A and B are shown apart, each in its own frame.
Chain A
Amino acid sequence: MNFVWTVAWRLLREGRFQTALILAGVSIGVGVIVYITAIVSGLQANIIERTLSTQAHVVLRPADLVNQAPLTVPGSVKLADIAKRTQRENTIANWGSIVARVRGTPNVSAVAAMASGPGVAQQGGVRKSIVLMGVDLDDYRQVVRLDNKLKAGRLLLPTGTALIGKELAADLGLQPGGRLRLQTATGGSQSMTVGAILDFGLKDLNKRWVLLPLREAQNLLGFQRDVTEIYIKSERLFEAESLAANLALATGLTADSWQTSNGQLVTALKSQSASSLMIRVFVTFAVALGIASVLVVSVVQRQREIGILRAMGTPASRILAVFLLQGGLVGLFGSLFGSLLGAAMSVGISRLALTEDGSPLFPVVLDGELFVTTALIATLVGVLAALLPALRAARLDPVEAIRG
Chain B
Amino acid sequence: MAEIMTLDGVKKSYGGGKSPLVEVLHGIGLQLVEGEFAALLGPSGSGKSTLLNIMGLLETPTAGELHIAGTATAGLDDAARTALRNRYLGFVFQFHHLLPAFSALENVMMPLFAGQGRVTLQDRERAAMLLQRVGLAEHAAKRPVQLSGGQQQRVAIVRALMNRPRLVLADEPTGNLDTQTANEVFALLHELNREDGTTFLIVTHDQRLADGCPRQIRLLDGRLQPDGVVSPAPSASGR
Interface residues of A (CB under 8 A from B): 1-4, 6, 10-11, 13-14, 304-305, 308-318, 398-399, 402
Contact = CB atoms under 8 A, between A and B. Distances in A.
A312 B101 contact: no
Given A309-B110, A313-B87, 8 more contacts: A14-B101, A311-B56, A313-B86, A314-B115, A315-B83, A399-B53, A399-B58, A399-B59
**Of B85, B89, B100, B114, which is in contact with the most chain A CB atoms at under 10 Å from its CB?**
B114
Given A3-B113, A3-B114, A13 B83 contact: no
B99 A316 contact: no
Interface residues of B, number: 31
Contacts, number: 72
A284 to B, nearest CB: 30
Contacts of A14: 100-101
Contacts of A318: 114, 117
Interface in B32-87: 53, 56, 58-59, 78-79, 82-83, 85-87
Contact of B110 (A312, A315, A399): A312
A313 B118 contact: no
Interface of B: 53, 56, 58-59, 78-79, 82-83, 85-87, 89-91, 93, 97, 99-102, 110-111, 113-119, 159, 163
18 contacts: A1-B119, A3-B114, A304-B97, A305-B100, A308-B97, A311-B56, A312-B85, A312-B91, A313-B89, A313-B111, A314-B114, A315-B79, A316-B78, A318-B114, A318-B117, A399-B58, A399-B59, A402-B93
B115 A313 contact: yes
Nearest to B156: A308
B195 to A, nearest CB: 23
Given A1-B118, A3-B114, A312 B93 contact: no
A246 B87 CA distance: 71
Nearest to B160: A312
Contacts of A313: 82-83, 85-87, 89, 111, 114-115, 163
A311 B85 contact: yes
Given A313-B83, A315-B83, A10 B102 contact: yes
A309 B113 CA distance: 10
A13 B117 contact: no
B125 to A, nearest CB: 14
Nearest to A403: B49
B101 A13 contact: yes
A11 B99 CA distance: 10
A398 B117 contact: no
Contacts of B159: 312
B54 to A, nearest CB: 10
A141 B137 CA distance: 81
Given A312-B111, A313-B85, A316-B78, A398 B58 contact: yes
**Of A312, A315, A316, A398, which is in contact with the most chain B CB atoms at under 10 Å from its CB?**
A312
A64 B99 CA distance: 82
Nearest to A394: B78
Contact of B82 (A2, A10, A11, A314): A314
A2 B117 contact: yes
